[in-house]
Chains A and B, each alone.
Chain A
């Protein structure tokens, strides 16, 4: 099993450009999450999904959109990137009855210039 995978691993964007980060999991987890991690800020929840076709806002959702069309995939979109969105983005997944135990992907390092 690959676990949780993220694509791409690195990306540099110019301000105003758009992009989509892809997260895939092969553990049949119901729940999926997107976090961003900045120095000294810990992990902050952007959006999450409790099942196929559902999404919900986390702590810092502004400037991001998500979609969960298939159970195994969770996409994070930046419609118009800003320098403040420079960060490391982590995707995670969990079973519905144990959201306290999340499995994380390797992360995507995004730089917006």
Chain B
């Protein structure tokens, strides 16, 4: 089977840096994705790591270590609009399995 673990909630202040960790156990693994979901909205794709290492997209970066079955999403220069839920998801050839999400609250 497949399982993912991520913290349920993280808080930070504007301008700070926050890291959301994700550990996984899976029988088949093709990569780790991250999605953002604002309250009442739909999930939106943020990033993907198919190989070990760091991927950077603007203020957001994502990291993967296959040997440790571990990844993280790093959010820099936090803004109020970053308050949302963040989901990691592991993929096999044709589908994703999502974690239960981390709720990020950004305070002024």
Q: Are B100 and A41 within 8 A (Cβ)?
A: yes
What is the size, in residues, of chain B's interface with A at 8 Å between Cβ atoms? 23
Q: Are B94 and A42 within 8 A (Cβ)?
A: no
Give the nearest-CB partner of A103 in chain B.
B45
Complex interface bits, B52-70 against A, C-beta within 8 A gives 1, otherwise 0: 0000000000000000000
Q: Which of B58-108 contact A (CB under 8 A)?
A: 87, 89, 91, 93-101
Please name all residues of chain A whose beta carbon is closer than 8 Å to the beta carbon of B44 when the two chains form the complex. Answer: 104
12 contacts between A and B (CB under 8 A): A40-B8, A42-B87, A43-B89, A48-B95, A90-B42, A90-B43, A99-B94, A100-B91, A100-B96, A102-B45, A102-B96, A106-B42
Chain A positions near chain B (C-beta within 8 angstroms): 31, 33, 35, 40-45, 48, 50, 58-59, 90, 92, 96, 99-107
Given contacts A43-B89, A103-B45, 14 further A-B contacts (CB under 8 A): A35-B98, A41-B100, A43-B98, A45-B95, A45-B98, A50-B94, A92-B43, A96-B94, A99-B91, A99-B95, A100-B96, A102-B96, A104-B44, A105-B42
